[in-house]
Chain A
Amino acid sequence: MSISRGRLLKTGFAGGLLLALSACAKSGGAAFEDDAAAYKVLDASERGLIAALASAFLAGALPVANGVVVHDALVAAVRGFDTAISGLPPVDVAQIRQLLGLLDNPFVKPLATGVWSSWNDASQTTVTAFLNRWRYSPIELFRGGYDVLHQLTMAGWYGQDRAWSAIGYPGPPKLS
């Protein structure tokens, strides 16, 4: 992650420090790249966030080749999430984007999630730990946030034909 001076000024000193720290903590992960035109709702940083979450939610479900998740499949999962929210009424979309905004807010994120690195750089173990932290949180708001992300991620992946062979679902019956 490169930190421009403009961004430092924009996010303020503390935020800039966090950005710098997260840049230092960079572990070699690549940013999630996909064609922006394929998305109805998610912006670039939200896509990176969802890619990180989907890698954890769908670990064991997304196909793996040579020890890494097949990139096409991860792209399909992120696009599936976007499709899942694009059919929601405006008030729901606003709430979900607010949640995503919180998860990407450099001031709030470390405390709320326990994740200090950028989402692109966070390991699957780190993201899973965060998701479980929210899943079992004594704070209802966090459990709710977890469950909404869970539902949308699962729906976004398992709605696609490519998810079905791994579970033995043949798809809908053919009607002649």
Chain B
Amino acid sequence: MNPNPYSAPNAQHWKMLDASTLGEDRTFECDVAIVGTGAGGGTAAEILARSGLRVLMLEEGPLRTSSDFHMLEREAYPSLYQESAGRRTKDEGIIILQGRSVGGSTTVNWTSSFRTPPETLAYWRAHFALDSFTPAALAPWFAMMERRLGIHRWEREPNDNNDVLRRGAARIGVPTKVIPRNVRGCYNLGYCGLGCPTNAKQSMLITTIPAALAHGAQLVSRVRAERFIHKHGAVGELLCSALDAAGLAPGPHTVRVRARAFIAAGGAINTPALLIRSALPDPESCIGKRTFLHPTVISAATMPEEVVASSGAPQSIYSDHFLKTQAIDGPIGYKLEVPPLQPVLTASTFTGLGEFAASQMRNFNHLQAIIALMRDGFNEESVGGTVDLHSDGTPVLDYPISGFVWDGMRRALLAMAEIQFAAGARTVYPLHESAVPYGSWAEARVAIAQLPMEILRTRVASAHIMGGSAMSKDERTGVVDQRGRSHALENLYVFDGSAFPTSLGANPQLSIYGMVARNASALAESLTGRPAAPLADADNAEKFTPKGRTALIAESVTPTVL
């Protein structure tokens, strides 16, 4: 088992503060203040701290480490997820899984690590003039982060839940591949979503954040960034609330942060909300718009053999076949993966009640599920959602699902059922209030074609929240430039998934790591006048330098035309 870095002797010297314990208001001064400690904030923190800058990391959630991770859903959801894993869109129709502790969603994600698909980058270059987003320009940054985080194709056998996808797809001629995962010494337990108890998952919690702390960075948890205070085109101060003892609402004390540069990295939904509360100049009303979700539908199967989908690496097999059967801006495509099935996630996601629901749960060890993630944002009929604020300033996402997206969801329910029957499923049950378990592909095909595809009838979930503070070369179509720098305020940056102008068509963590590694390195260089420190390979400390790094930084620090 890998050691818990927060229990190591040198961790006693790290500067960490739980803001809910503050007895007074506080003011911090630093070079760079980072709001959020997920994929974006964590990556930026290590690069900036290693480059010699004084870094302050701010996190709304608590600091929880492997000592707290007991693989219990009742503990993990309230402490590690936004709204106890019950965050929903405004009409309640989409359930959103998003992290909320030190490490952000990387503490609870299922470890799937994909580079941004080349066709997605091509679309960004064509539609948002993001000319520095070429596969070749990003490759060294992806390579650096892959080495930093131990990302490699999963070498063990997939668990049976994943194997059903592999076998069934193969039988109907749909190719699948093995998923790259950010793990070192994985125990193959299957509980990544509840916080890795063995420190195998190379989340920000155990990699970049401890490295930043070891380089003098400071971490303040349970503090909510309320708004940037700005004048004359720059942020002067960040105003925050220290949360109360429960960590759910602002307590009596405020925290003020003064810095040379400010990074918003609270993730999609929370970052745009912070920008809205800060009243950023936004003449074209771009902030919070075009928020994407990879809205996901689910097909459950009962297999004749035991599957035990609660156990084993949750995601190891995927198929991009249905992303490639049509043009990227044609009818919506989708990625196929599988979810882990632990009792709470299963029972609360499965539709139905009473004896029907109970009978599904009695099948627990025979249940198998496939998910289809819609690649939203590449067509004018898929414009995503809009971040709005509740009266207390907390965010809510309004995401109406268009007929264009429903069409893809129906095709996906059909494809998943066909795959499950091809793998030998006894019954297939599309998660939909009007569906029942179907006994054959012929029966399922007829029934699924007739299901009313509507919100709160079809089960829809999301674990990939992207956009809302989109990059664009032109300030009329986006919030930040290709370097992640705000079009409105000169020392404000967005380094997280909210900067993506569309969804990705792939699980987002590695796309965020790569983009932020490049942009944070450019920021470090602009603040220090020296090349940024590369992230050390864990086994090969300080030796690893991505090829062509200097040239890439030179390119990315060239001011873009506003």
Contact = CB atoms under 8 A, between A and B. Distances in A.
Interface of A: 56-61, 83-84, 86-92, 128, 131-132, 135-136, 140, 143-148, 150-152, 154-155, 157-160, 163-164, 166-169, 172-173, 175
Q: 7 shortest A-B CB distances, which residue pairs?
A: A60-B358, A87-B78, A172-B71, A144-B92, A159-B74, A143-B456, A60-B355
A155 B347 contact: yes
Nearest to B356: A60
Contacts of B311: 173
Given A56-B354, A91-B392, A151-B348, A169 B92 contact: no
A83 to B, nearest CB: 7
Contacts of A154: 344, 347-348, 357
Nearest to B194: A172
8 contacts: A56-B353, A60-B354, A87-B78, A158-B344, A158-B361, A159-B73, A168-B362, A175-B1
A88 B82 CA distance: 9
Given A57-B353, A158-B347, A167-B364, A172 B191 contact: yes
B245 interface: no
Contact of B358 (A58, A89, A91): A58
Nearest to B455: A140
In the complex, which of the residues B71, B73, B92, B249 has the most CB atoms of chain A within 10 Å of its own CB atom? B92
B91 A144 contact: yes
Nearest to A172: B71
B98 to A, nearest CB: 13
B247 to A, nearest CB: 9
Interface string B352-391: 0111111101101100000000000000000000000011
Contacts of B191: 172
B77 A87 contact: yes
Interface of B: 1, 70-74, 77-79, 83-84, 86, 88, 91-93, 95, 187, 189, 191, 197-198, 248-249, 310-311, 343-344, 346-348, 353-359, 361-362, 364-365, 390-392, 394, 433-434, 455-457
Contacts of B362: 166-168
Contacts of A159: 72-74, 343-344
Given A84-B84, A87-B78, A151-B348, A128 B354 contact: yes
Chain B CB within 10 A, most for which of A128, A145, A172: A172
A146 B74 CA distance: 22
A167 B86 contact: no
Given A155-B344, A173-B311, A91 B390 contact: yes
Contacts of B189: 173
B504 to A, nearest CB: 27
A128 B343 contact: no
Contacts of B84: 84, 87-88
Nearest to B78: A87
A172 B72 contact: yes
Contacts of A86: 78
A51 to B, nearest CB: 15
Interface centre among A89, A145, A168 (most CB of B within 10 A): A89
Contact of A155 (B71, B348, B390): B348
A174 B347 CA distance: 23
Nearest to A124: B354
A103 B189 CA distance: 42
A19 to B, nearest CB: 28
B248 A59 contact: no
Given A83-B74, A166-B362, A168-B365, A88 B91 contact: no
A147 B249 CA distance: 25
B348 A88 contact: no
A140 B95 contact: no
A47 B187 CA distance: 42
Contact of A88 (B72, B86, B346): B86
Contacts of A131: 353
